């Protein structure tokens, strides 16, 4: 189930809001209006951080993949080492009772973009790259990155898209000026092949670091102009290894607790090993 956080930069002040994507009681007729109001509220929060600051706030939107609530230090789990995300929760707002409308890659991402259920946009499960090569989010739907672009923001998506692999479903059709990442759902955790500037390229290093470097470079290059950066990681989605040595070190030899260890025929050592890899 994807998790997300938004962080706003306005002068020297910051505010962050981490959340699992909210389900709402809006009717289909009102959901577009709800999305617009949510976007206005998003911007107002950023402006309220520093009332004296006249410029629009920069927005960094972080979207993780398959991150359970207990895989966040702010949730109270001492084994979850997420200091930077914990800081966003501590300095902003932490919403533990907000939920994704569909805990699967593609429909949850479609809901995030459109504020509509997957059944409304024709995406009800993760998009298979071979069996559903032409399936994707129809660009006709209103999406909030496009609204920010209309408002004068520079916009970028770094990381996972998984809302269509065809050219007419490219992230740039939904309001993003810049895209670096993968149109499909999966990639290797090391030495990935990713799209940048419209061309697929082989990158060296851990995928998480490659994407982080791209995100940081975008912030540095655009910090003098209002920007939206959506940083969509695939972590902590499987497969997990390899990871940086410093990330694995806290879990070596740790006997991690797991739910229902007495479940019939459960391979407890394997589950514990996978839990350590997941947390790393």
Q: What is the mean pLDDT of the chain?
A: 85
Domains with residue ranges and CATH for the chain: 59-239 (3.40.720.10), 246-279 (no CATH)
The rounded distance, in Å, linking the Cα atoms of 129 and 160 is 14
Residue 56 has pLDDT above 70, yes or no: yes
Task: Clarify whether 170 is annotated catalytic.
Answer: no
Number of H helices, E strands in the chain: 8, 8
Residue 105 has pLDDT above 50, yes or no: yes
Task: Clarify whether 230 is annotated catalytic.
Answer: no
What tens digit of pLDDT does each residue of 208-218 get? 999 999 999 99
Query: Which one is catalytic: 20, 26, 162, 232?
Result: 162
Q: Where are the beta strands (DSSP E) in the chain?
A: 3-10, 13-19, 58-64, 154-160, 178-182, 193-196, 199-202, 227-232
Residue 224 has pLDDT above 60, yes or no: yes
Query: Which one is catalytic: 20, 105, 178, 182?
Result: 105
What tens digit of pLDDT does each residue of 19-49 get? 433 333 445 455 555 455 555 555 544 544 4
pTM: 0.80
- Burial classification of residue 245, based on how many CB atoms lie within 10 Å of its CB (0-12 exposed, 13-18 middle, 19 or more buried): exposed
């Amino acid at each position: 189930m994807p998790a997300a956080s938004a962080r706003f930069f306005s002068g020297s002040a910051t505010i962050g809001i981490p959340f699992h994507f909210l389900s709402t009681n809006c009717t289909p007729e009102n959901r577009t209006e709800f999305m617009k109001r949510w976007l206005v509220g998003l911007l107002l929060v950023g402006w309220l951080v520093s009332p004296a600051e006249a410029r629009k706030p920069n927005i960094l939107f972080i979207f993780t993949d398959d991150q359970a609530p207990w895989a966040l230090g702010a949730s109270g789990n001492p084994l979850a080492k997420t200091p930077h995300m914990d800081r966003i929760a501590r300095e902003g707002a932490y919403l533990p009772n907000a939920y994704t409308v569909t805990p699967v890659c593609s429909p949850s991402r479609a809901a995030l973009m459109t504020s509509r259920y997957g059944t409304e946009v024709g995406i009800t499960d993760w998009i298979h790259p071979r069996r559903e090569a032409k399936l994707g989010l129809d660009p006709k739907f209103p999406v909030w990155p496009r609204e920010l672009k209309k408002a004068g923001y520079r916009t970028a998506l770094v990381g996972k898209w998984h809302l269509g692999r065809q050219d007419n479903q490219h992230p740039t059709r939904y309001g993003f000026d810049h895209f670096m990442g993968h149109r499909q759902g999966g990639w290797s955790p090391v030495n990935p092949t990713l799209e940048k500037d419209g061309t697929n390229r082989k990158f060296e290093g851990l995928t998480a670091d490659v994407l982080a470097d791209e995100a940081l470079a975008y912030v540095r290059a655009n910090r003098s102009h209002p920007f939206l950066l959506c940083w969509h990681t695939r972590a902590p989605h499987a497969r997990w290894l390899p990871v940086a040595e410093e990330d694995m070190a806290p879990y070596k030899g740790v006997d991690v607790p797991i739910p229902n260890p007495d479940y019939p025929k459960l391979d407890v050592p394997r589950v514990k090993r996978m839990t350590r890899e997941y947390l790393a």
